[in-house]
Structure 1
Amino acid sequence: MSTVTTIATAHGPAATDSLADLVVLDKASPVPLYFQVAQQLEAAVEGGKLPPGTRLDNEIELADQLGVSRPTMRRAMEFLVDKGLIVRRRGVGTRVVQSRVRRPLELTSLYDDLKNAGQEPTTTVLSNTIEPATAAVAEALGLAEGTPVAVVVRLRSARNQPLARMCNYLPAALLEISTEALESQGLYQLIRAAGVRLHAATQVIGARNATAAEARLLEESRGAAVLTMERVAYDDHGTPVEYGTHIYAATRYSFQLSLLTG
């Protein structure tokens, strides 16, 4: 049997929806109660029913309202903290924060992923130049050092919040890309429109602390954590056509992997 319970009290003008129907617990289900609570709260945050800034009651009150134990409620809240959906601070309480953009590891552009997720992507082109390939870029693209390459540096934002600084290198002979096109379309869209069939990529993901300039660009605190990604994309003939080095604000972005057992 399922029970519908009020789970939180929202404060502020952004919280206009009723919260009485957000959580439906099935105590007969084999799914742990903490996970039922966490999943439904996550869905409420991602769906905008618990907008950023919503204040949640403390764990004791939430546990009483739901009819679950305090350890169960605490575990559900820790799950949401770990996913970056809520923050808990002394003197402030527990509040919903902007949900992270989660990107599946597929051969797609960030622009397409954000657009498909309804995240309203915007692009600021920081530079768009032709330069001689450095040794590292030449090696990644399989070119001779000094070969002309297009160097595109962009700031990608979603919902008016900066997410990533992206630097991409392409053989200059591959295609000509205008700044206007880069501001309105994804890079992979433009590559495909030029008749290039993207087939595969190698990708390395890491993390480090932002430099002062990177932190300012991403509107993060100095030394904040950033995710890093290096990718080389290949066409259907196995020829490297694009090399990218990107950084992402870790507070608003994560990568999502699907793993299968063999």
Structure 2
Amino acid sequence: MAEVNMTGTAQAEGLDVPFVPQIALDRDSEVPLYQQIAHPLEELILAGRLEPGRLIEDEVSMARRLKVSRPTTRRALRDLVARGLLTRRRGVGTRVTPMHVRRPLGLTSLNDDLVDAGFTPRTEVLSYEVMLAGEQEARDLHTGIGSEVVRTTRLRYIDDEPLAILTNLLPSGDRTPSVTQLTRQGLYDSLAVHGIRPVMAQQSIGARLASARESHLLALDEGSAVLVMERTAFDKEGTVIEYGNHVYNCGMYSFQFNLVADG
């Protein structure tokens, strides 16, 4: 099996100096070479010896230095990306993934949950469109076809890493949050300013492959798996106050359920 030698700690070398794993590959082993590369890196990350955000040597340089094919190093790094241990961003490189977000499942704002968990969230409003509801929008908001609604899409970051694409439908009117509000704070805080608060929601969670646009926005390889959530939130009168369709980088994000046995 391969052995890896740490030539220096991430803390000592700095986050933007690529970590170069000194791996002694056993070419006679039955263990595939990509696993011999991925496993030592995995151990270093899980042990905390490579801190979150640390840049990793690129696949081309690694392949040349270890005298293996580029597909071998690409697969090693992709396996670690798929496991949520590394993240890839265009123009930034492959880095150790920031701390995983485990969100309790409840009627709360993602922005507030991130702050409570010690992260520094940032929001970029990608689009904000006032439109007339078609059949799908009317169904999602439980309103009439032709009603005026707002569709907004936001990109939520934690510590400057893209975490989620948040698309929401809202009834249009004097109490609809503005672009400025949605940039500065979470949706539910923006609604609360206008006296609107959710008291109940219908929610579903699933997974699928990311589209090309979603992969680009979340800095993922095209076709990577993503976590998806749909939520329809109601106020105390039973009126729909928002419909959300959200896409998350599942390497950085998961939901936490508390289960209790009957009896």
Fold agreement, TM-score > 0.5: yes
Whether contact under 8 Å (1:125, 1:152) holds in the other structure is yes
Shift in Å, 1:11: 3.7
Counterparts in 2 of 1:215 and 1:96: CA distance versus 1, 3 Å: closer
Percent identity of paired positions between Structure 1 and Structure 2 = 41
**Are 1:252 and 2:249 counterparts?**
no
Name the SS of the counterpart of 2:11 in structure 1: coil
> Which amino acid counterpart does residue 227 of structure 1 have in structure 2?
L
CA distance in 2 between partners of 1:208 and 1:110 (Å):
20
CA distance in 2 between partners of 1:179 and 1:121 (Å):
16
Shift in Å, 1:10: 8.8
Counterparts in 2 of 1:107 and 1:152: CA distance versus 1, 3 Å: same
CA distance in 1 between partners of 2:220 and 2:84 (Å):
17
> Which amino acid counterpart does residue 232 of structure 1 have in structure 2?
T
Name the SS of the counterpart of 2:192 in structure 1: helix
Counterparts in 2 of 1:117 and 1:135: CA distance versus 1, 3 Å: same
Name the SS of the counterpart of 2:176 in structure 1: coil
Name the SS of the counterpart of 2:164 in structure 1: strand
CA distance in 1 between partners of 2:105 and 2:168 (Å):
18
Shift in Å, 1:238: 1.4
CA distance in 1 between partners of 2:150 and 2:186 (Å):
15
The alignment's C-alpha RMSD in Å is 2.8
Shift in Å, 1:165: 0.6
Counterparts in 2 of 1:195 and 1:251: CA distance versus 1, 3 Å: same
Whether contact under 8 Å (2:9, 2:50) holds in the other structure is no
Name the SS of the counterpart of 2:188 in structure 1: helix
Q: Unaligned regions of 5+ residues in structure 1, if any?
A: 1-7, 17-40, 56-80, 88-94
CA distance in 2 between partners of 1:103 and 1:212 (Å):
26
Shift in Å, 1:138: 1.0
Whether contact under 8 Å (1:155, 1:166) holds in the other structure is yes
Q: Deviations over 1:173-198 (max 9, x none)?
A: 36132211111110100111111131
CA distance in 2 between partners of 1:107 and 1:190 (Å):
15
> Which amino acid counterpart does residue 177 of structure 2 have in structure 1?
I
Q: Unaligned regions of 5+ residues in structure 2, if any?
A: 14-44, 57-79, 87-94
1:227 maps to 227
CA distance in 1 between partners of 2:9 and 2:133 (Å):
53
Q: Which of residues 9, 12, 16 in structure 2 aligns to 1:12?
A: 9
Shift in Å, 1:86: 4.7
Shift in Å, 1:100: 1.4
Counterparts in 2 of 1:15 and 1:250: CA distance versus 1, 3 Å: farther
Whether contact under 8 Å (1:129, 1:150) holds in the other structure is yes
Name the SS of the counterpart of 2:233 in structure 1: strand
